[in-house]
Amino acid sequence: MNRSQSSRPPIMLCASCRLLVARAATTLPAPPRGRGPAFRYQRRELHFPGHPEPPSNDSSAGRLTRQSVPLGRRVILRRGRMPPALGGGLAGSELRFRRGRCGSQAARVVGRDVAAETAARNPKRPARASRLFKAVGRWALLALVTLLSFATRFHRLDQPAHICWDETHFGKMGSYYINRTFFFDVHPPLGKMLIGLAGYLSGYDGTFLFQKPGDKYEHHSYMGMRGFCAFLGSWLVPFAYLTVLDLSKSFPAALLTAALLTFDTGCLTLSQYILLDPILMFFIMAAMLSMVKYNSCADRPFSASWWSWLSLTGISLAGALGVKFVGLFIIVQVGLNTISDLWHLFGDLSLSLVTVGKHLTARILCLIVLPLALYVAIFAVHITVLNKSGPGDGFFSSAFQARLSGNNLYNASIPEHLAYGSVITVKNFRMAIGYLHSHRHLYPEGVGARQQQVTTYLHKDYNNLWIIKKHNTNSADPLDPSFPVEFVRHGDIVRLEHKETSRNLHSHYHEAPLTRKHYQVTGYGINGTGDSNDFWRIEVINRKFGNRIKVLRSRIRLIHLVTGCVLGSSGKVLPKWGWEQLEVTCTPYLKDTLNSIWNVEDHINPKLPNISLDVLQPSFPEILLESHMVMIRGNNGLKPKDNEFTSKPWHWPINYQGLRFSGANDTDFRVYLLGNPVIWWLNLVSIALYLLSGSIAAIAIQRGAQLPAEVEGLTKILLRGGGQVLLGWVLHYFPFFLMGRILYFHHYFPAMLFSSMLTGILWDTLLRLCAWALASSCLARGVHALGILSLLLGAAYSFYLFHPLAYGMVGPLAQDPESPMAGLRWLESWDF
């Protein structure tokens, strides 16, 4: 006998329960016609309050028949569990009601359903009003977050009215752009170009010198440049808010993240001055937000919003790298996300290979081609604008300098071949080494022979001039018109006499000042008279003996005749006794390296005809390559300045030591870069807590633990959303441990953005889990709200305490017990 003809009596339901069944039946989709796995449905058992459950040993008992459900159609539920509703109650996989008395529950249900039926007579109006109310609430909260961020960043922006910290560098570089003067910096040019553009548009004329911190701006317009940096810095908060909201689908998590960044004194300080940091962090956060947004559009690929977010990601990557090379870290993060995304698409067998190829092509275009094109365009604008000779000329090759208006090589004509008696400058072929240089200062006691120093110097100077002479003659003047011209040839033995001091380039077996196993190079002799240690054999790379030496184009080596060593520069910076110029040595290792290769740049000889240097100007790809080589070398060679606080990467997350932005005495207007300690230490605890809780959750899932639906949903948010921002923190922090260059506290702030987002996601998730665990308690509803509110108030109050660090303070130092900041000096290393 089939099921429809079963003799078992139907389950009798009360009116309210029948209403429940009817409501459920009418809201669920009817089973589609067709066969196959996509159309398989399973009946689910429904249990009602006040009715006995069917016996477990009878598969047909307890099933609803058509007769027992007179209203609506039979209840059919799709196979599988329904996803949990985030932020709401527990979501079950089937319609199941608590056991208990039917009367009271049914009355509440009937009351709700009567209201629902009344509203259903006009369904569009309440639904539309509800959606409108939610949309207005979302936009109002975003507007509030953005307004508060802008208010804190622009408050007292004009104070102090003097140069603070690195404004002396980046403000000066903005002036260079306005004046179109070429300069050198270790960072790519986009940030400085934008600062210069902001100054130009706000009326700054580029005449302020930006000599040193503390110099007053007086009548010069500086607010445009500060305002531009504050404008970009203000967007960090809403960008982080939207990123966390998209990752967690939780407004409290996003609001907590926004509060942490709004009330952090360190982020506030960096955003208020003419610096590259707010510009860099703006592009990093824009790239992160765009990446998260296009990930959320994965269900509608190739739509307008998908293309828009993907393109904005590429544009932001170009911007981040165009400001500083640490923009590579966010590029790596986006690259890893893209690889993971494409790998999952490749494993989706419902997609054809053509579709996968389209996805791959779209990402290549938007995330590789577009950023690369924009990055190259940035340098094209940079090179086009800075066309006048300036302080950065000496860092670049002679051919590069020939394109700069005002440089002595620009539109110049000089003798083509090197001749005896010529006054020349000799430039090292390696980028950022400079010219062979000497001065009247001697090496100090204990540093080789106490003779005249020979160094390399990056700037144009009269002390770079040398006279090239034959090794065995000194009396006759080679520039005398009565003497015939004699050209210097490959393999000749020569002397180089320093024009200003008349001492010869000299080497001997004494050890070099800094580089072990290299020989010292000095200036020796009187009026050009010295000894055999002044003799050098000049060789042209890849040329035969007897060939003439061409100015600018010939790559030459100078071999010391007595010791057999090769003249070169180690690139090491000498101590203060050497005026922090670069060490010159004579290396016994004869292997060709750029450090030991030179070219003749300036060439003065009135007896020779001149040729134009226009043919030597490099192409744009050559300029681009040389610029990057110089920047990378300059970055690696950065050294601390006098009285400058440097730090180590392990200092940063614990907020161990700040940085003076302005002032040092109790009478000065003092600004001190220090993160809000409450927020930074909360971030540090959150990272440790996330690693613990995330590991436990990942192990539980891997072991197949059956988690309740809401716990499973929150766990996925913790692992996926939190994992994304944790990866960002790792990529923006740990590479600094591998860097050999000098490091400063402000290098940590991009990583701090990610740690703050992780804190927002973590604590919101943990508080929701606590509320779920206390579901049977009356405290459940208030645990989450109270926890979030406590964190928000704690961040705001700590900002109230520490805000003078960012907005400025005058009076006794914190070491003085009478200082209002004395009680806030929680660590001895804080020097405010």
| Lowest pLDDT segment from 356-365, 675-684, 772-781 | 772-781
Q: Do residues 159 and 239 make contact, with C-beta atoms less than 8 angstroms apart?
A: no
The pLDDT of residue 736 is above 50: yes
Closest by alpha carbon to 202, among 176, 181, 228? 228
The pLDDT of residue 119 is above 50: no
Q: Which pLDDT tens digit goes with each residue over 460-511?
A: 889 999 999 988 876 556 666 667 888 999 989 999 999 999 999 999 999 9
Q: What is the mean pLDDT of the chain?
A: 82
Q: Specify the pLDDT at position 468.
A: 93
Q: Which pLDDT tens digit goes with each residue over 299-313?
A: 899 999 999 999 999
Q: Specify the pLDDT at position 735.
A: 93
Give the up-direction half-sphere exposure of residue 646: CA atoms within 13 A in the CB hemisphere: 9
Mean pLDDT of 407-412: 82
Q: How confident is the model at residue 224 (pLDDT cuts 50, 70, 90)?
A: very high
CB atoms within 10 A of CB 263: 25
End-to-end Cα separation, the chain, in angstroms: 90
Distance, in Å, from the CA atom of 257 to the CA atom of 789, rounded to the nearest integer, reads 13
Q: Specify the pLDDT at position 641.
A: 57
Q: How confident is the model at residue 242 (pLDDT cuts 50, 70, 90)?
A: very high
The pLDDT of residue 364 is above 70: yes
Q: Specify the pLDDT at position 443.
A: 94
Q: Specify the pLDDT at position 49.
A: 42
Q: How confident is the model at residue 529 (pLDDT cuts 50, 70, 90)?
A: confident
- Strand locations in 50-97, DSSP E? 77-78
Q: Which pairs count as long-range contacts for 215-218, CB under 8 Å and 24+ apart, including other chains?
A: 215/162, 215/163, 215/168, 216/161, 216/162, 217/161, 217/162, 217/163
| DSSP-assigned beta bridge partners for residue 442 | 452
Q: Specify the pLDDT at position 328.
A: 95
Q: Specify the pLDDT at position 76.
A: 36
Q: Which pLDDT tens digit goes with each residue over 182-221?
A: 998 989 999 999 999 999 999 999 999 898 888 899 889 9
Q: How confident is the model at residue 85 (pLDDT cuts 50, 70, 90)?
A: very low
Distance, in Å, from the CA atom of 174 to the CA atom of 599, rounded to the nearest integer, reads 33
Instruction: Report the share of the chain in percent with pLDDT over 70.
Output: 82
CB atoms within 10 A of CB 190: 26
Mean pLDDT of 741-747: 87
Distance, in Å, from the CA atom of 500 to the CA atom of 520, rounded to the nearest integer, reads 21
Closest by alpha carbon to 272, among 717, 807, 825, 819? 807
Mean pLDDT of 525-541: 89
Measured N-to-C along each axis, helices 277-296 and 223-234 cross at an angle, to the nearest 10 degrees, of 30
Phi and psi based region of residue 446 (left: phi greater than 0; alpha: psi -120 to 50; beta: remaining): left
Residue 101 or 825, more confident: 825
Q: Which pLDDT tens digit goes with each residue over 597-638?
A: 998 988 888 888 888 777 677 888 988 998 888 888 777 766
Mean pLDDT of 710-735: 92
Q: Do residues 261 and 676 make contact, with C-beta atoms less than 8 angstroms apart?
A: no
Distance, in Å, from the CA atom of 591 to the CA atom of 568, rounded to the nearest integer, reads 11
| Lowest pLDDT segment from 109-123, 493-507, 524-538 | 109-123
Q: Do residues 38 and 85 make contact, with C-beta atoms less than 8 angstroms apart?
A: no
The pLDDT of residue 317 is above 50: yes
Closest by alpha carbon to 515, among 577, 450, 459, 448? 448
Q: Specify the pLDDT at position 816.
A: 81
Mean pLDDT of 535-563: 86
Residue 212 DSSP SS3: coil
Read out DSSP for 639-669? -PPTT-----GGGTTTT---EEEE--STTS-
Phi and psi based region of residue 528 (left: phi greater than 0; alpha: psi -120 to 50; beta: remaining): left
The pLDDT of residue 111 is above 70: no
Q: Specify the pLDDT at position 664.
A: 73
